[in-house]
Amino acid sequence: MTKTTGILQSFLDAYPAAAKVEVTAAKGSTPREEGAWMLVAPDTIFGTIGGGQLEFMAIDEARALLRAAPASKAEPAKVLDIPLGPEIGQCCGGRVGLSIERVGAALRDRLLAKARAEDETLPRVLAFGGGHVGRALAEALVLLPVRATVAETRADAIVGFPEGVETRLTAVPEELVRAAPAGAAFVVLTHDHALDFLIVSEALKRGDAAYVGMIGSATKKATFRSWFLKTAGGSEAEFSRLVTPIGGDGVRDKRPAVIAALAAAEIMTALVAAFQPSSSASR
């Protein structure tokens, strides 16, 4: 079971009395897009429709529905049409349609089936190296809509990673590169420069990676370029797709958590561009 499905099922098991709030229409400037949804239980929530006064109103309406006695027949969803203006203290300027309904057995099954399907299509991120930066990167990636795997050649380096991040112990990490799906992101930060070079070379030669990044300095990049072109049979076009140092060099801070945060943002930018090329234009 992948992470979104597991978290959702745990919520539904813990809070069987819940209501689903879904954005059914989003016109103009709105916090979330049509199809965004959240679950509301008597004292907690799962997900978000964008926060702010709109969400507070939706939560109040959902909890009022939960407090009311269930109808003897199937209840129709409650429909709201809300302008995002001064009337509710939210100045987005758009208009949102909401649908609110109790979560029964059939809706629960549909939600879990949808979560499983979405988990299967999440972009893959393979991080090679479980050292300080690799661990910090895993902690950043577990919060994002990706399926993250950390691969290591050392057994003790993949102990204690956050739940929701897969760990793989392998003596041949480049095989994971070859087996990864098209559009995967590869970030390489092992304890061994020679191993870094081997993994990066495999990733660049695939030609279908959304992102290939390697931790390191300008000197390491130059050394890799010379080896890649002269020894590994790589091309300048392939080399040009390499991102190093990961996270860019605009912030000169070598603390693992900072590098990981910048790299995670960089990876997500590349994945969104690869999988949702029109997302920015639709906002």
User: Domain residue spans in the chain?
Assistant: 3-118, 122-275
Per-residue model confidence (pLDDT) at position 280: 38
Mean pLDDT value across the chain:
92
Instruction: Determine whether 183 is exposed, middle or buried from the number of CB atoms within 10 Å of its CB (0-12, 13-18, 19+).
Output: middle
Classify domain 122-275 at the CATH topology level: Rossmann fold (3.40.50)
The predicted model gives 15-36 an average pLDDT of 95
The predicted model gives 52-77 an average pLDDT of 90
Share of the chain above pLDDT 90, in %: 80
Of 257, 232, 259, the C-alpha closest to 244 is: 259
Instruction: Determine whether 27 is exposed, middle or buried from the number of CB atoms within 10 Å of its CB (0-12, 13-18, 19+).
Output: middle
Per-residue model confidence (pLDDT) at position 251: 81
> Quick check: 116 and 136 in contact, CB under 8 A?
no
> Quick check: 99 and 33 in contact, CB under 8 A?
no
Q: Is the pLDDT of residue 122 over 50?
A: yes
Residues contacting 214, CB < 8 A, separation 6+ = 187, 188, 189, 196, 200, 220, 221, 224, 242, 243, 244, 245, 246
* Structure-block tokens of residue 185: 């992101």
Q: Specify the 3-state DSSP secondary structure of 189.
A: coil
Which of the given ranges, 70-74, 158-162, 185-189, has the highest pLDDT on average? Answer: 185-189
Per-residue model confidence (pLDDT) at position 268: 97
Per-residue model confidence (pLDDT) at position 2: 59
The predicted model gives 135-158 an average pLDDT of 95
Per-residue model confidence (pLDDT) at position 87: 73
Kindly indicate the confidence band of residue 246, based on its pLDDT and cuts at 50, 70 and 90.
Answer: very high
The predicted model gives 103-115 an average pLDDT of 95
Kindly indicate the confidence band of residue 99, based on its pLDDT and cuts at 50, 70 and 90.
Answer: very high
